[in-house]
Structure 1
Amino acid sequence: MTSTVFIPRKPFSQLSAPREVIRQFTPNWFAVTMGTGILSLLLAQLPVPIPGLYRLAEALWVLNIGLFITFSFLYIARWVLFFDEARRVFGHSTVSMFFGTIPMGLATIINGLLLFGLPRWGDGVIPIAETLWWIDVVMSVACGVLIPFMMFTRQQHSIDQMTAVWLLPVVAAEVAAVSGGLLVPHLAQTHAQFSVLIASYVLWGFSVPVAFSILTILLLRMALHKLPHESMAASSWLALGPISTGALGLMVLGADSSSVLAANGLPGVGEIAAGLGLIGGIILWGVGVWWLLMAVLITLRYLRDGIPFNLGWWGFTFPLGVFALTTLKLGVVLNLGFFVVMGTVLVGCLAGLWSLIMSRTLAGAYRGTLFVSPCIAKLHCATL
């Protein structure tokens, strides 16, 4: 017997009123922009001569901009129309972590501006990208400090309830660091290059050591309390994010360090940064392989009993995408076909995952079932 999926004729049929879309809107939705953005960047850099692939990647980037603007409008509207309920997010031990997805989603748009916007519109996009990057930096630093501060002072946490979502507010800074490294060679002034490069290294240090501290605690939690609830199944992939981004950041920042630091009175330091970046990137990539294999095994374990669909499924996409991007980068730098082949396979897996998750997201959004804010439930939230 085959089953069919019932799609109601009217949108938001599962909501009591259309305005519930705004009232129930949460930062979790920005994870969609992260997954869509990383796929667009990967398709454009895939070393496979497929006709129309670059145009498809560019179209996904434009779609991502539209999604980011739409989500921003909806979330701002929630704060304007439902302020008392919206501010409860700071007391929620899970939803508040997703504030980190906002600057990370913006970072994929900035990277796309350099990859797609520059050849289409010329150097005029560079000042826009630089301005957006500094905005992204401020948002990332704020998430990396204020959300953990809320964890320490207002929220209720326990080691047995911990998941990898703790990483989200912290990792945003290292994603901004990678974007800064990509921006550096496009800046005209040497002082601006130097400022962005140093700021990016600071952002890397601001994020990666803290992320690895969280990963250490996560390993202990998994050993003592086993796997989290199946609704958090995708969170097992989030650990791959900071490892891969950390590796990519070291390589990207090291690539232009030699010329930038030499132009600012620090000759010789750049060569060291480039060498350490490559070696550090390879080592962290190896750590990422361990987490990738572990995430696959954990997901297979979850699949035995079924994984309920929710927005958390987008947690499968961005970490896998960054790992694929790092793998392809190593293939280019080391000129080893193994990394190119593996990266290409990972991109194919990501494209399949994105298609599946996006189709279910569109269906859930149309019905209204994905517009659920746990922060409205008094049992789960604390007010400021």
Structure 2
Amino acid sequence: MIDLHPLRKLSHPREAIRQFTPNWFTLNMGTGILFLMLAQFPFFVYGLAPLTRILFWADIGFYLLFCAMFIGRWVFFTRGALRLLDHPVQSMFLGAIPMGLAPIINGAVNFYGGTPFAVHAALILWFTDAALSLFIGWLVPFYMFTRQSHAFENMTGVWLLPIVPAEVAAVSAGTIAPHLPVQTAQMVTIIGYALWAISVPLAFGILAILFLRLALHKLPHRDMAVSTWLALGPIGTGSTALILLGNSSVRAFAGEKFFHMLAMAQGIGLIGGLFLWGLGLWWFGMAALITLRYVKDGLPFNMGWWGFTFPLGVYTASTFAIFAETKFAFFELFGAALVVLLAFFWMVVTTRTMQGMWSGQLFSAPCLTGECLSGETGLPMFDAAPVTASRELQVQ
């Protein structure tokens, strides 16, 4: 039976804004990488092309909605919003804001790259995305080092979320550079390499520590079960960025005095991309095994389930990028299989998310637990309201 009462789990519709958390932008990450990978699906499927455009525009709509809600929380509930920065899990999801924007940038270029407006808009959004990635990449670790409380045994893959956006922006740099004038393409490519260098070494340091943590303290709580998939994120984007930036370097710097040096970037990109892809295959298998282990004991739904989508999607993007360079049929077939798995995960998670969004159950900010609402800053219309049972679902 269809529930005709939206946000019924909340005491007031304003609670949807007050308890809005940045992990909602993982919906944009998952939906965005899906339409990008569907566009690269190597086999003909009737209706697939219009579906990718529908998902693209729907993703834009959700991104604008979430931006409005997130800004609304800071405007009307400033005090509570500031508590987000001190939360050792929710603050990590600030990285989802630029990562949710990146697929929109790539989609604008891939779908409408023949129009100057789309390219210019994508370039402006890319600079915004790169700036946000750097800002969050400094802000969240600073709070980790100075204010937040962390313990080694509680560490999970979510530590990667504020670090990875820079290399996701590097992928977008390699995507839009071929559509830009020469000098602009050169600048974007160079910045892309810098963004890759800012993110990937730090991410791999975290992965090494995460391996040790899993060996010593075993699997995290089942609420964080999907976090094991997040390791595929920096591996997939790191691989894809190397390949795309290598290709864009050859195009952007053709005819320059040092072109013979930059020509190596294309070969290095493919070799480095293959190395990272192989590492990703190990993490893919391990994440699948760990997930099956959790399923035996029950896997509670939360917004963390979007971790099934974006990491898998960027690893799929790496697979297709390698196929484009090598033409080995294995990568095409394996990439197609990954797209099918990605689409399955997306349909399951989207269904559950839409249900939780409609009822209001998923609007729950752990950083507000125990908070006195009368202390909130904002307009009179957002005065105190009792906390409902929606708090019971702690969205990680």
Above 0.5 in TM-score?
yes
Q: Counterparts of 1:79 and 1:267 in 2: how far apart (Å)?
A: 48
TM-align CA RMSD: 1.3
Q: Counterparts of 2:199 and 2:6 in 1: how far apart (Å)?
A: 41
Who is 2:289 aligned against? 297
Q: Secondary structure at the match of 1:13?
A: coil
Who is 2:102 aligned against? 107
Deviations 1:8-27 (A, max 9, x none): 43111111111100011000
Matched, 1:156 2:141: no
**Partner amino acid, structure 1, of 2:246:** G
Among 219, 227, 243, the residue aligned to 1:251: 243
Offset of residue 67 of structure 1: 0.5
Q: Which runs of 5+ in 2 are unaligned?
A: 372-396
Among 59, 64, 69, the residue aligned to 1:69: 64
Q: Counterparts of 1:261 and 1:232 in 2: how far apart (Å)?
A: 45
Bigger mean CA offset, 44-53 vs 359-368: 44-53
8 Å contact from structure 1 (residues 258, 268) kept in 2: no
Q: Counterparts of 2:161 and 2:31 in 1: how far apart (Å)?
A: 17
Offset of residue 115 of structure 1: 1.1
Who is 2:270 aligned against? 278
Among 315, 319, 324, the residue aligned to 2:307: 315
CA gap 1:200/1:304 in 2 versus in 1, 3 angstroms: same
Q: Counterparts of 1:39 and 1:264 in 2: how far apart (Å)?
A: 38
Matched, 1:324 2:335: no
Offset of residue 127 of structure 1: 1.2
CA gap 1:7/1:223 in 2 versus in 1, 3 angstroms: farther
Offset of residue 327 of structure 1: 0.8
**After TM superposition, what 4+ stretches of structure 1 lie above 3 angstroms from structure 2?**
262-265
Offset of residue 54 of structure 1: 1.2
Matched, 1:340 2:332: yes
8 Å contact from structure 2 (residues 113, 179) kept in 1: no
**Partner amino acid, structure 1, of 2:146:** T
Q: Please give the residue correspondences for 1:12-31 in structure 2 after superposition, counting only pairs within 5 Å.
A: 12-31=7-26
**Partner amino acid, structure 2, of 1:141:** L
Matched, 1:181 2:174: yes
Who is 2:53 aligned against? 58
Offset of residue 123 of structure 1: 2.0
Who is 1:78 aligned against? 73
**Partner amino acid, structure 2, of 1:346:** L
**Partner amino acid, structure 1, of 2:222:** E
Who is 1:41 aligned against? 36
Q: Counterparts of 1:70 and 1:270 in 2: how far apart (Å)?
A: 42
Offset of residue 264 of structure 1: 4.1
Offset of residue 182 of structure 1: 0.7
Who is 2:260 aligned against? 268
Q: Counterparts of 1:125 and 1:309 in 2: how far apart (Å)?
A: 37
Matched, 1:125 2:121: no
Q: Counterparts of 2:213 and 2:302 in 1: how far apart (Å)?
A: 23
Among 152, 165, 174, the residue aligned to 1:172: 165
Offset of residue 7 of structure 1: 5.3
Q: Counterparts of 1:232 and 1:59 in 2: how far apart (Å)?
A: 31
Instruction: Give aligned-pair identity as a percent.
Output: 50
8 Å contact from structure 1 (residues 261, 269) kept in 2: no
Q: Counterparts of 1:87 and 1:266 in 2: how far apart (Å)?
A: 48
Offset of residue 259 of structure 1: 2.9
Q: Counterparts of 1:149 and 1:263 in 2: how far apart (Å)?
A: 43
Q: Secondary structure at the match of 1:25?
A: coil
TM-score (norm 2): 0.92
**Partner amino acid, structure 2, of 1:118:** G
Q: Please give the residue correspondences for 1:154-233 in structure 2 after superposition, counting only pairs within 5 Å.
A: 154-188=147-181, 190-233=182-225
Matched, 1:141 2:134: yes
Offset of residue 322 of structure 1: 0.6
| Count of equivalent residues | 372
8 Å contact from structure 1 (residues 328, 339) kept in 2: yes
Offset of residue 258 of structure 1: 1.7
Deviations 1:261-309 (A, max 9, x none): 2344321122211111000000100000000000000000000011100
Who is 1:361 aligned against? 353
Offset of residue 117 of structure 1: 2.3
Q: Counterparts of 1:264 and 1:215 in 2: how far apart (Å)?
A: 38
8 Å contact from structure 2 (residues 37, 317) kept in 1: yes
**Partner amino acid, structure 2, of 1:358:** T
Deviations 1:333-363 (A, max 9, x none): 1111111000000000110110110000000
Q: Secondary structure at the match of 2:259?
A: coil
Offset of residue 82 of structure 1: 0.5
Q: Counterparts of 1:341 and 1:31 in 2: how far apart (Å)?
A: 27
**Partner amino acid, structure 1, of 2:252:** V
8 Å contact from structure 1 (residues 260, 270) kept in 2: no
Among 341, 362, 372, the residue aligned to 1:349: 341
Q: Secondary structure at the match of 2:9?
A: coil
TM-score (norm 1): 0.95
Q: Secondary structure at the match of 2:11?
A: coil
Q: Which runs of 5+ in 1 are unaligned?
A: 1-5, 380-384
